[in-house]
Amino acid sequence: MTTLTFITKNALRNKRRALLCILSVAVSLFLLVTLLVALREVTVPPEDIGAALRVVVRNKISFTNPLPARQRAVIERIPGVAAVSPFSWFGGKYKNEEMMTFGQFAMDPKLIRPIFGEAKMPEEQYQAFEADQTACIIGKLTAEKYQLKIGDRLPLTSIIYPCSIELKIAGIYEGTIDDRNALFHHKYLDEAGGSDGWVGMWWVKVRSIEEMPRVTDSINRAFANSSAEVRAETERAFQLSFVSMWGNIKILVHSICSVVVFTLMLVTASTMSMAIRERFRELAVLKALGFRRRELFAFILAESFGLAAVGAVLGIGAAWVFYTQISIAKLTQGIFITFEVTPKIIGQAALVAASLGIVASIAPSIAVARTSVVDGLRTLD
C-alpha cells in the first residue's frame, strides 16, 4: 500500500461524513465566490471601451439639479472637446411596472456615434432615428426581455417630468457594456416636459487621453462662481460616485464572508477531529512501529487538505461554470450586467480552502502528539 492510498482510505473511511464535509466546503466556497463577485461588480462598475475619452458634466450641488442649455456653446469652444450632447434621465416606467428596469435618456441623436461609438446598429436604423423626433433606440437586452421589435411603440410615464411620452422604436443597438437603455431626442423631451432651456447633464467626448485633465479643469473653471456651477469628471469617476451612495457595502459583504469562512472552519475542524479521534489506536500503533510525529502530522494534514481541496474544486469550479454559462442580466432582472469570476477571486477562494485544510488539522495533530502509545492503545477498548 502506498502512502497516497493509505491517506485516501483513511479520508474515505466514513464515506458519509467525508461527503458531507466536501459538500459543506463546496457550498460555502460557492457562496463565498458569489459574494466576492457581487462585491466586485458593485464597487468596480464595468467600463465601455470608449469611456476613457468621455467626460460627464453635472451640477456641482447634485446631479438631480438641472443645468442651463446655454452652457453647451461654452463647452464646445473649449480646446480638446470633440462633441457635446445633452443627456437627461427621463425616469420613465414602462406600462404598469413598479420599478424601472432600464434607463431612458434624452440626447442629441446626431451625436450617438461620435460619443457612444461602441453602440452598433445598421446605418438605416441610425438614419431612421435621426429623422423622426418621436423615435428612439433601445438596447438588445431590453428588446429581448419585452419582445420588442423595430416599429413597436414604447410608452413611458416619468417620475421626474410631469408628462408621459410614447416613443417609436427605430433601432436596436448592441455592443456596449449595458445593452438595456433607451435613447431618444432631447427636443422631444423639451416639448413634452416643458423643460426647454434645461438639461440633466452634459456628456462630452474628448479628442485624446492626454487632453482629459485639461478639458475637465477648463470646464469646471468656465462655470466657477456662476449660478450653475458644474462638476466635470470622467465617466469612470461618475459611475463610482453612484457606488458611494450604497454606503459602506464592503463592510457588510466582508462581514458575511467572514461568517461563512468561520462557520466552514468549524465544520471542517469538527470533521477532522472526529475522524482522528476514531483512529487513535491505529495512530498509536504507527507510533509504536517507529513513525515520527512529523510523519503523523503529514498524514493528518494531507487528509484534511485533500478534503478541503476536493470541496474547493467542486465549489469554485461550479461557480465559474455557472456564472460563465448563464446570462446574469436575465437571471437578476438587470440588476447585474456582468458577473465575472476573475482569477483573483478564484485565487482568494482557493487560499481560503487551503487555509481551512491547514487550520482543521492543527487540533487533531496536537491531540495525537500529546497522546502516548499506551494511552492510544487503550482508546476505544
Q: Mean pLDDT over all residues of the chain? A: 81
Q: Is the pLDDT of residue 197 over 60?
A: yes
pTM of the model: 0.67
Query: What's the pLDDT at 132?
Result: 92
Highest mean pLDDT among 12-21, 74-83, 90-99: 74-83
15-43 helix and 249-277 helix, angle to the nearest 10 degrees: 170
- What DSSP letter does each residue of 43-72 carry, written as one string? HS----GGGGGEEEEEESS-TTS-EETTHH
- What DSSP letter does each residue of 160-220 carry, written as one string? SSS-EEEEEEEEEEB-SS-TT-EEEEHHHHHHHHT-TTEESEEEEEES-GGGHHHHHHHHH
Give residues with Cβ within 8 angstroms of 193, minimum separation 6. 158, 161, 162, 163
Query: What's the pLDDT at 359?
Result: 79
Average pLDDT over residues 184-209: 89
Average pLDDT over residues 31-41: 84
User: Tell me: the pLDDT tens digits for 225-244?
Assistant: 888 899 998 887 777 766 65
Amino acid sitting at position 307: L
User: Tell me: the pLDDT tens digits for 172-187?
Assistant: 998 887 788 899 999 9
Q: Is the pLDDT of residue 46 over 50?
A: yes
Query: What's the pLDDT at 332?
Result: 64
